[in-house]
Structure 1
Amino acid sequence: MTKVLIVDDEKIILEVLEAYFEKEGWEIILASNGIEALRKIKGNNPDIIILDLMLPDISGEEVCRLTRKESDVPIIMLTAKSAEDDLINGIVIGADDYVMKPFSPREVVIRSKAILRRVNKVDKGNKISFNNGKLKIDLVKKEIELSGKLISLTPIEYKLLVAMASYPGRVYSRLDLLEKIQEDGAYFEGYERSIDTHVKNLRKKIEADSRHPRYILTVFGMGYKFGGTLNESDTTF
């Protein structure tokens, strides 16, 4: 059963979202503040988190930031904020999507399903492919195939590609990507900007035109995201 953690300090929002997700047959976990949310994330291992930005103890951004240090669980933020800087900050620290208040509960359910479909397709097998099979990743052999030809990547380039391709559309800051390429949590001796060099080299190998990339996209002022389209049929080849 799919588990959703709903975090909001407004009782009516918790009750309404709980009712809508229960209709879908999901297991519901509720939290009314940030500390409780962090505890339930560790104790319940939810499949997705619906997270209010404004909480009474610690902010939703802080909950998201702390969660991202240990987990890639999808996070949808609920927010009454509309300032561009606030939205950008939430995406940079790891939120997968935003829903602005006031919102339709049905929209939250639909967005949750869409994100989980995307994630589950990537997790379904040991091989994933994008753009009608033009780009293929074998997660067991650690091989990359582009238009039928094997592409040689450095270990860092491979880790960057897999990290972003595992969550298409999610924006990763340079610091996020530095953490992804660490070996067993070891400190990576380099600056965040070194990611730009690795991305540049990766693009040269997998993009037809590195100046107009289709896979590794720059999100200005934020970082990078994977722009490939996951095959709809399956994730094997």
Structure 2
Amino acid sequence: MKDDLGILVLSCDKFADLWKPFFTLFEENRNNCPYPVYLGSNTVRYEDSQVKTLYSGEDRDWSTSCRSILQQIPHKYVLVLLEDCFIISKLDVEKITQSVQFMQDNNAKHIHFHPVPKPDKWLPNQEMGVYEKRAPYRVNAVGFWDRAYLLNLLIDGESPWNLEIQGSYRTAYDDGFYCPKLPLFSHVHVVEKGCWFPEAIAYCQEHDIPLEIDKRPILKNQFQLKSKLQMYYFNLMIKVP
């Protein structure tokens, strides 16, 4: 089972300042997780014997870099993480292994890392919900993926957010999309639109996780409100039949 999954942290050189705090928290919460860990970078190496850096070359766009990185990974499945999503709870290794087994047994294409949006139905006697065909937001960049399927899904020029919206349309008639009943881990969203989240700064300062604050501005209150209103709107829209 160990050879079936790789954990991939997708990033790029301009966010290299996030790698140290990300992996500091990751190692604190790894909980002896045996699966190999990869970091997707453009050209910069991360010096850590527990992390293998993979290079995509010049940063053209997120999906093009993602494809280049995925082509270098030898595993059938990948657990995709993003560098600005800091993990702040212990990884449940048994749940990760069970998720890989579920993908094998059910020919799953993708499992979200948390139950958002809510699934169309919960599977009986399982800790999984299913997203039916044509369900909006059935694609989330973060989560378990069949590596070959994700490679075929990617289109050059897209961001992770484009993938979640447009990818949901492109997968509308495919089976194999699921989410767990409980989140795979707790997390702190650190950066949005090139700005620090104040809540993330506060969390890292409280837990002695160093951040290079001068690397980017701090998200102002009005933009935080706008972001939350946009998220509320999107969440409302996906509930419309």
Q: TM-score, normalised by structure 2?
A: 0.31
TM-score (norm 1): 0.32
Larger Cα-atom Rg: 1
